[in-house]
Amino acid sequence: MRKSDLEKRISRLLNEEETFTLSLVLLAHMHDDEKYKNLCELIFLFDNYSGFKQFIKYYEGQTIQVPTLKELKQCLRLLELFQKVVIDKKDFDECYSKLKLNNLDLTKSYCKGELEKFTKYLQENGAITLKQLKKLSKK
């Protein structure tokens, strides 16, 4: 495929990363769609633009809901609770208190339910989940 004159001139003016960033800005303006609104800012959250391209390849066309910081903290604490209770076999009530899960608006009953769901999920899909993680590291 031959490059058009415009593409050749752009290539001389901008490096690949700048061209990519500019194309994201144009994409946001060409489509009157909220889903593209912050796309060009997203690239700056990655250490390098090839990481962003990998992100796009993996999630292309999908809608992603970004969790709040509180939701992320809750998830991390629940994962720590899982480690302590299910894997290390420590007392649930003691771990619940030490991790201060009530400060994150997570009740004991909710946490117990989440531990059960996560344990069941890993029992049924653990091997698949590990394969998916290995695939991600190869991309």
Q: Both 127 and 83 in a single domain?
A: yes
Q: Is the pLDDT of residue 24 over 80?
A: no
What is residue 75's three-state secondary structure? helix
Per the structure, the count of domains in the chain is 2
> Is position 64 within any domain?
no
Average pLDDT for residues 120-136, to the nearest whole number?
68
Q: pLDDT tens digits for 55-100?
A: 888 888 888 887 899 999 999 999 999 989 988 999 999 999 999 9
Q: Both 16 and 36 in a single domain?
A: yes
Q: pLDDT tens digits for 1-16?
A: 466 676 666 556 556 6
Following DSSP, what letter does each residue of 2-54 receive, concatenated?
Answer: PPPHHHHHHHHHS-HHHHHHHHHHHHHHHS--GGGTTHHHHGGGSSSHHHHHH
Q: Both 124 and 96 in a single domain?
A: yes
Tell me the residue range of the domain where 85 lies. 69-138
Q: Is 60 exposed, middle or buried, given 0-12, 13-18 or 19+ CB atoms closer than 10 A?
A: exposed
Last residue of a domain, one of 19, 39, 59: 59
pLDDT given at position 105: 95
Q: Both 74 and 127 in a single domain?
A: yes
Contact between residue 84 and residue 101 where contact means Cβ atoms under 8 Å apart:
no
Q: Both 55 and 74 in a single domain?
A: no
